Amino acid sequence: MAHDYFRALRDVALVINSSLDLKEVLHKITEETAKTMGCKACTIRLLDSTGGFLLPSAASGLSATYMRKGPVEVKKSGIDSEVLAGKTIHLKDATSDGRFQYPESAKAEGLISVLSVPLTTDGKVIGLMRVYSDQEREFTPDEETFMQAVASISALAIANARLHEALRNNYDLMSKHAYSVYED
């Protein structure tokens, strides 16, 4: 099974290199990760500017109802607080673990076990990645390592996309300024 992880990691890297459209890239990463791990779903959530909420950035395999369940508030979600502290966290049954913020919604969606890893860039956690299984299960050390690797290159893609956006905005601003100087 290890060769599947290498192939999937290569596929994720190819997706990242294929586009500067962050939304599209992150969605494909969640699809590939859920498929490779044999899970029902995968999400990527990024911290908002206040650091108090995790915003949905990409998801695969989850219903619109589940995605609209409510805001993910870091201080109300024990699992998310732990992951944002840099830990990889596995919940065998999210529907009965008090650290999971919306256990009723998870139960209604048919989600049981989850594995969550931090998205880290430049030593700073910017969000998290999570897979959801519709069966109670243990995640193997190889699966944890695979998720950590995907999260690392995903965080790099996010940082690069943000940098590209900032450069583009600066270029646009400079162009407008230069145009107005020549106009005067």
Report the alpha-carbon distance of residue 108 to residue 46 in Å, rounded.
Answer: 24
Residues 6+ away with beta carbon under 8 Å from 63: 109
pLDDT score at 174:
66
List pLDDT tens digits, range 116-128: 999 999 999 999 9
- What stretch of H or E contains 164? helix 141-183
List pLDDT tens digits, range 120-160: 999 999 999 999 999 999 999 999 999 999 999 999 888 87
Contact 136, 112 (CB under 8 A): yes
* Both tokens assigned to 45: 């959530």
Report if pTM > 0.95. Answer: no
Which domains are delineated in the chain?
A: 2-183 (3.30.450.40)
